[in-house]
Amino acid sequence: MDPRAGTPAQSSDLVDVDALIGAYYDRAPDLDDPAQQVVFGTSGHRGSSLDGAFNEAHIVATTAAIVEYRRSQGTDGPLYIGRDTHALSRPALESAVEVLAAAGVQVYVDARDSYTPTPAVSHAILLHNGATSTEGVRTGNGGSSQGTGLADGIVVTPSHNPPRDGGFKYNPPHGGPADSDATGWIAARANEILRTGVGQVARTPLDRALKADTTHTHDFLAAYVDDLANVLDLDAIRSAGVRIGADPLGGAAVEYWGAIGERYGLDLTVVNPHVDPQWAFMTLDWDAKIRMDCSSPYAMASLVNRMTAAGATAPYDVATGNDADADRHGIVTPDAGLMNPNHYLAVAIRYLYSGARPGWNPDAAIGKTLVSSSLIDRVAASLGRRLLEVPVGFKWFVPGLLDGSVGFGGEESAGASFLRHDGRVWTTDKDGLILALLASEIIATTGKSPSEHHAELVSEFGESWYARVDAPATLEQKATLGKLSPEQVTATSLAGEDITARLTAAPGNGASIGGLKVTTENAWFAARPSGTENVYKIYAESFRSPEHLAEVQVAAKDVVSDALG
């Protein structure tokens, strides 16, 4: 923990935006350096132009690869493209539009030439593809097209990453994150194009590309905001007079929050409407970096302090934050401050499945990643609902959200989405806006804050302590960890309790977790190799005490070390 965590950013913390954009156009990647190649993680390709990891060449090559991929899949409908507020997002979007126009792809850009949250792009794709009609979505398994005219999309965002970063992710016709088969193919082809020379990729100059017959505009904001009443009880929020403070953290939701408040007559204040590519107004995250992580108490310190200042009356009944592309949510209440994401997910699940959504399939499962809190498991059991526990990555929830067999899918990193009132799909990517608004619906219909509901869950199921830490690992050890079998784990106990399960595949779908999860009666840990650093991540939880959690974390390292040999 850096001693400056939670304090306001200083001038020395700010990125040089001109240098950042200059490097985007001027710097060519060194393809002998793996860190400067195109690599898709769980949320697309990310990097900084200053490091030779996110430059014009990367975007031209990746867009050209996406053009080839969508053709190979028979996806011949429009492509919806949006961007967030990072400094590199506009240049990258413009580069992509030049390639798409030259390739003859029907492209839809934002009608306001402004910012577009990730869920608004997913929403647009699904609307075009009929996912919200009574006939259902026209996509095959994993998003492969059936028929013609199917849409897909690109979101230019590195999510909550620091201001120096850029990001580029592809959403196929199912509207959610592309699976590893798609991203692996796109990344490999993009790197081939980089090696052969991006100068061979056809491009239409930007001014002509924007005026091309194949380039159109779409009002992402109006389409999304006007449809919100079909997924939330906004009438209840308005009637109850819930006072909402919404902080976009300088991200793509900035104009959406004002439009939502006006459209539905809510008592909603946009706490900070300022957009700054340096994010000079932010408080520093745990490592003294500027990071728009709405689940971090350090990045959210300004909003938390406003809500919980000693002796002051809270200005809002609930305050919320979003990251730069608004696919994550942070919930702040006067009595508890910033809620742990796992705690809020459990509250949201209990509320939604306890009669708030009678139009859902009565057998609709609860989706969680295997590194999310076991409190969710206990809530699901009490509700008599099937729990779908999947590996890390929101893509695993896409099929269930599409067909209504999963009502809610959530990740431990404060990302989730859920179905419309009638049980049809809303988005198949994470939606921080509806999760933030759901907190107000919970207050309006129950008279209790989400944190008060969590206190009730604690009294019913017990208190838990949850944390994630990193441990060093070589490339070889990371590779071994990603391919472990349960038989390689010889330990029989963990922090004083007998081991009840050793998992290398997710219980919900049998997919490899790319690591290991070990459970006991009152605790568990999961270990996964990092995709960007020479470390592995240890997620752990204890229902006994914070001291027991620390014991679990230490024991987890020993278990993993023994398994790695």
Give the 3-state secondary structure of residue 67. helix
* Residue among 159, 413, 417, 451 flagged as catalytic: 159
* Eight-state DSSP code of residue 279: -
Q: Is 545 a catalytic residue?
A: no
CA 451/CA 35 separation, integer angstroms: 42
What's the length of the chain? Answer: 565
Q: Which of 218, 455, 443, 429 is nearest to 336 (CA)?
A: 455
The one-letter amino acid code at 393 reads G
CA 2/CA 108 separation, integer angstroms: 43
CA 534/CA 301 separation, integer angstroms: 30
Structure tokens at 108: 């839809």
Contacts of 214 (CB under 8 A, 6+ apart): 100, 101, 104, 105, 106, 107
Torsion angle in degrees (nearest 10) through CA of 123, 433, 215, 402: -20
The one-letter amino acid code at 191 reads N
Contacts of 431 (CB under 8 A, 6+ apart): 118, 119, 122, 326, 327, 416, 417
CA 255/CA 115 separation, integer angstroms: 8
E strand map for 341-405? 365-369, 387-390
CA 221/CA 225 separation, integer angstroms: 6
Helix 118-128 vs helix 432-446: angle between axes, to the nearest 10 degrees? 90
Cβ atoms of residues 335 and 451 within 8 Å: yes
Torsion angle in degrees (nearest 10) through CA of 269, 274, 277, 278: -100
The residue to which tokens 């009443």 are assigned: 229
E strand map for 238-298? 243-247, 267-270
Cβ atoms of residues 457 and 350 within 8 Å: yes
Structure tokens at 23: 């490097």
Contacts of 236 (CB under 8 A, 6+ apart): 441, 444, 445
Structure tokens at 203: 């491009």
CA 325/CA 210 separation, integer angstroms: 23
CA 503/CA 482 separation, integer angstroms: 12
Cβ atoms of residues 251 and 114 within 8 Å: no
Cβ atoms of residues 518 and 489 within 8 Å: yes
Contacts of 559 (CB under 8 A, 6+ apart): 489, 491, 494, 516, 518, 525
E strand map for 133-181? 152-156, 165-171
- Give the residue numbers marked as catalytic: 159
